Amino acid sequence: MFSKTKKGSGIDLEQHEQIEYAQERIRQKKNLYRHFVWFLIGSVGLVLMNKVFKYGEAYDWAYWAIGFWSLLLLVHLVNVFILSTFMGRDWEREQREKLVLKQKEKIAELQKQLEKEFPHPGPPKKKVD
C-alpha cells in the first residue's frame, strides 16, 4: 500500500508531446469557432443598430465595421489552419535544433580560442634528484 516504488503514468514522452499538441490545436480551433460565432452575432447586431435602430443612419458604417472584422477573422483563420500547420511543432523543433547546434559550435570555437590564448600547462614534471 505504501511502497516506495511509484507507478508511472504509462505514457511515454512522445505520447505526452502528442497529447499536448492535440490539446493546443483543439484550443486554437475552439477559439476560432468562438470568434466566428461572435462575428455572426456582432454583424447582425451592427446591422440592426445601423438600419433598424437608425443609429448613425446617415452613413452605412456597419458594413465597414463588418468588413474590418471579417479581415480580422480571416487573419485568425489563416493563423490557425495555414501558419500553425506550416510553422507548427516540427518547424519549432527544427528551429530549436538549429539554434542549439549553432550555440554548441560557438562554444567550441570560444573553447579553442581560450585554449589558444591561455594554454593549459601539462601535469607538473617530477624532479629527479
pLDDT for the residue 27: 95
The per-residue pLDDT of the chain, averaged, comes to 85
How confident is the model over 67-78, as a mean pLDDT?
Answer: 96
Amino acid sitting at position 69: W
Percent of the chain with pLDDT over 90: 45
pLDDT band at 86 (very low <50, low <70, confident <90, very high): confident
pLDDT beyond 60 at 66: yes
Q: Look at the alpha carbons of 35, 41, 43, 49 in this order and tell me if their dihedral is positive or negative.
A: negative
Instruction: List the grid coordinates of 128.
Output: 629527479
Q: Look at the alpha carbons of 89, 92, 94, 100 in this order and tell me if their dihedral is positive or negative.
A: negative
Q: List pLDDT tens digits, range 92-101.
A: 888 899 999 9
pLDDT beyond 70 at 6: no
Specify whether the CB–CB gap between 69 and 42 falls below 8 A: yes
pLDDT band at 4 (very low <50, low <70, confident <90, very high): low
Ordered by start, the domain boundaries in the chain are 15-87, 89-118
